[in-house]
Amino acid sequence: MHIDLALLGYGNVARALARLLMRKEATLREDYDLTFRVTGIATRSRGLAINPDGLDLAEALRLADSGEPLDSLHRGAPVHDTLEFVRQCPADLVMEATWLNPQTGQPATDYVRAALEAGRHVVTANKGPIAFAYRELRALAAQKGVGLFFESTVMDGAPVLGIAREGLVASTVERVRGVLNSTTNYILTALEQGTAFDDAVAETQRMGIAEADPTNDLEGWDAAVKIVVLANVMMGADVRPADVERAGIRGITREDAQRAVREGERIKLLCEAVRQGDAVRVSVRPTRLPLSDPLAQVDRTSSAVTIETDTLHRLTIVEGDTDPTTTAYGMLVDMINIARGRYR
């Protein structure tokens, strides 16, 4: 099978994906009978490029890494904006890795909708479209007979949604609990070790895991969007980030964190979705967990999720050492699953 790809966004994740695609090209061809071309790349400020014969990916990486625009790679009529790009780029599959707005899910939701409407498969690493419009986009994908996969939206490339889809069939998910935001988990770990709150925040910014404005992490928005994705996808809920009972970690001191440790517990920013009758209640809040809880063992930038079902009872997935390549890997898995027709 051959698949033409459009990359929407060309930042850390999409460039890691480009490198991974080049590294895995022979594996895809030999083991999965899958060949690909990248026929378009769109960015917000570095231009965009479409070439129906396939872009030179190595050259696109060189340009992006050196801060040069991509326009020199473009062939054909000019394309003015991202929506026009989505509609015009001759691609079977749109790989979406643009910016996340955790309050609205836009503009990524519009891009995903436009790609599906144009009959293209979509893989997205962006939580926004799934947290804000999952049911609508899923129905649209089904109507158009295309796939919509989004493994990398929660816990990077760790196969959380894949396990639920393939391995928890005929099960009812009763509860999902997770430590899902690496910035706050790193800060909470640092507080336990005696670092002051503001210094810990600055450290996450220096490491590049927190944004210059860390509000979305510290106030629990990023975590809220992730638990909404899990609740809607795994539990059939229909909630939005604004429905999450949400408290962030501002106000937690190193004294609080160290006291919890002395008393045999650890403070974690716990994300939770619990089935209650026909409803699912979702929350994000700092919670003291006993050390016997696997979620209490998750350090620094690691993440973990515990899924409770009526069949497997309790399953915990832990991931460590994440980086943009682990996120890109989840997108590659989604691409292979679409090529295998797993969306039908």
Ligand X SMILES: NC(=O)c1ccc[n+]([C@@H]2O[C@H](COP(=O)([O-])OP(=O)(O)OC[C@H]3O[C@@H](n4cnc5c(N)ncnc54)[C@H](OP(=O)(O)O)[C@@H]3O)[C@@H](O)[C@H]2O)c1
Residues belonging to the active site = 226
**What are the backbone angles phi and psi of residue 234, rounded to the nearest 5°?**
-90, -25
In terms of CB distance, is 68 or 255 closer to ligand X? 68
Antiparallel, parallel or unpaired: β 265-276 and 279-290 = antiparallel
Rounded distance between C-alpha atoms, residue 234 and residue 320, angstroms: 22
In terms of CB distance, is 225 or 270 closer to ligand X? 225
Tally of CB atoms within 10 A around 275: 18
CB of 22 to ligand X, least distance (A): 17
Rounded distance between C-alpha atoms, residue 38 and residue 215, angstroms: 35
In terms of CB distance, is 125 or 260 closer to ligand X? 125
Closest CA to 72 of 40, 48, 42: 48
Transcribe 78-137 into DSSP letters: ---SHHHHHHHS--SEEEE-----TTT-TTHHHHHHHHHHTT-EEEE--HHHHHHHHHHH
CB of 251 to ligand X, least distance (A): 25
The residue number whose beta carbon is nearest to ligand X equals: 11
Contact residues toward ligand X (CB under 6 A) are: 8-14, 42-46, 82, 97-100, 107, 125-126, 152, 156, 324, 327
Q: In which order are the strands placed within the sheet that holds 173-179?
A: 245-246, 279-290, 265-276, 173-179, 303-309, 313-319
In terms of CB distance, is 112 or 190 closer to ligand X? 112
CB of 51 to ligand X, least distance (A): 17
Three-state secondary-structure class, residue 77: coil
In terms of CB distance, is 95 or 237 closer to ligand X? 95
- Residue 25 Ramachandran class (φ > 0 left, ψ -120 to 50 alpha, else beta): alpha
CB of 130 to ligand X, least distance (A): 11
Tally of CB atoms within 10 A around 319: 19
Rounded distance between C-alpha atoms, residue 165 and residue 161, angstroms: 6
CB of 291 to ligand X, least distance (A): 28
Tally of CB atoms within 10 A around 292: 9
- Indicate the residue type of 24: K
CB of 82 to ligand X, least distance (A): 4
In terms of CB distance, is 112 or 257 closer to ligand X? 112
